[in-house]
């Protein structure tokens, strides 16, 4: 049982760090992207969505690798708590991007 408890602690540590860094990043990044412009063609808005998504995914991956580099040895982490933390925190990261969400609703809203 001790192994599972230590694993849970590691998931918690990763989650707090990832949450703090990525939610802050996503909030700032959303302000860098333009607001929804219904005068643009839907495919242009779709490209903005994809660009924002690729940036979030890239930063998430880099952060995960960075945290693993600095935390796995000192915490004696076994397994991949970082994968669970990233999955758990997907929704909070995107919820901090209202401009992205309005674009998604605009492009897919009529389907």
The domain spans of the chain are 46-111
Residue range 40-66: mean pLDDT, rounded? 92
Residue range 56-64: mean pLDDT, rounded? 89
* Alpha helices (H) along the chain: 2-32, 42-71, 81-88, 90-95, 98-108
Task: Say which DSSP state 79 is in.
Answer: S
Inform me whether the pLDDT recorded for 109 exceeds 90.
no
Measured in whole angstroms, the distance separating CA 71 from the mean position of its chain's CA atoms is 19
Inform me whether the pLDDT recorded for 100 exceeds 70.
yes
Computed over every residue of the chain, the mean pLDDT equals 84
- The Cα–Cα gap between 93 and 101 comes to 11
Question: What's the pLDDT band for 77 if we cut at 50, 70, 90?
Answer: confident
Collapsed DSSP state (helix, strand, coil) of residue 39: coil
Residue 107's pLDDT is 92
Residue 3's pLDDT is 56
């Amino acid at each position: 049982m001790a192994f599972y408890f230590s694993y849970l602690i590691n998931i918690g540590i990763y989650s707090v760090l990832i949450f703090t860094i990525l939610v802050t990043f996503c909030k700032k990044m959303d302000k860098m992207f333009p607001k929804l412009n219904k005068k643009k063609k839907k495919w242009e808005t779709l490209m903005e969505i994809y660009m924002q998504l690729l940036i979030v995914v890239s930063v998430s991956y880099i952060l995960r690798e960075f945290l693993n580099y600095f935390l796995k040895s000192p915490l004696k982490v076994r397994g991949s708590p970082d994968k669970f933390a990233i999955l758990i925190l997907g929704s909070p990261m995107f919820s901090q991007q209202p401009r992205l969400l309005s674009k998604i609703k605009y492009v897919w809203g009529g389907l």
